[in-house]
Amino acid sequence: MEIRTLRYFLAVAREENMTRAAEILHVTQPTLSKQLKSLEEELGKKLFTRHSFSIKLTDEGILLRDRAEDLVQMADKIEKEFLSLDDITGGELYFGLAESYQIKYLARAIKVFKEQYPTLHYHITSGDTEQIADKLDKGLLDFLVLAELPDNRKYEYISFPESDVWGLIIPADDPLAEKKTISVSDLKGLPLFCSDQAWNNELKEWAGNDFPELIQEGSFRLAYNGSIFTRERLGYLLTFKNLIDTSEGSGLVFRPLSPKLETMLYITWNRYQTFTPIAERFLQYLRTSFINTET
Q: Judge whether 134 lies within some domain.
A: yes
Count of structural domains, the chain: 3
Q: Tell me, yes or no, whether 54 and 133 share the same domain.
A: no
Q: Tell me, yes or no, whether 49 and 31 share the same domain.
A: yes
Q: Tell me, yes or no, whether 271 and 250 share the same domain.
A: no
Q: Tell me, yes or no, whether 111 and 176 share the same domain.
A: no
Quote the CA–CA distance of 177 and 179 in Å, as a whole number.
5
In eight-state DSSP terms, residue 173 is: T
Phi-psi region of 12 (alpha: psi -120 to 50; beta: other; left: phi over 0): alpha
Domain residues for 38?
3-80
Q: Judge whether 294 lies within some domain.
A: no
Q: Single out the residue in 80, 112, 146 at which a domain terminates.
A: 80
pLDDT value for 134: 81
194, 269 contact by CB (below 8 A): no
Q: Tell me, yes or no, whether 138 and 268 share the same domain.
A: yes
- Cβ within 8 Å of residue 165, ≥6 positions away: 240, 241, 256, 260, 261, 262
Nearest to 16 by CA among 43, 39, 38, 49: 49
Q: Single out the residue in 80, 103, 126 at which a domain terminates.
A: 80
The CATH number of residue 213's host domain is 3.40.190.10
275, 283 contact by CB (below 8 A): yes
Q: Judge whether 9 lies within some domain.
A: yes
Quote the CA–CA distance of 143 and 25 in Å, as a whole number.
31
Q: Tell me, yes or no, whether 196 and 248 share the same domain.
A: yes
Q: Tell me, yes or no, whether 156 and 118 share the same domain.
A: yes
Q: Judge whether 295 lies within some domain.
A: no
Q: Is 217 exposed, middle or buried (0-12, 13-18, 19+ CB in 10 A)?
A: middle
Q: Tell me, yes or no, whether 153 and 285 share the same domain.
A: yes
Tens of pLDDT along the chain (295 residues)?
Answer: 788 888 888 888 888 888 888 888 888 888 888 888 888 888 888 888 887 777 888 888 888 888 888 888 777 777 766 665 655 566 889 999 988 999 999 999 999 999 989 989 999 988 777 778 888 888 889 999 998 889 888 899 999 999 999 999 999 999 999 999 999 999 999 999 999 989 999 999 999 999 999 999 999 988 999 999 999 999 999 999 999 999 999 999 999 999 999 999 999 999 888 788 889 899 999 988 775 444 4
Q: Single out the residue in 80, 108, 135 at which a domain terminates.
A: 80
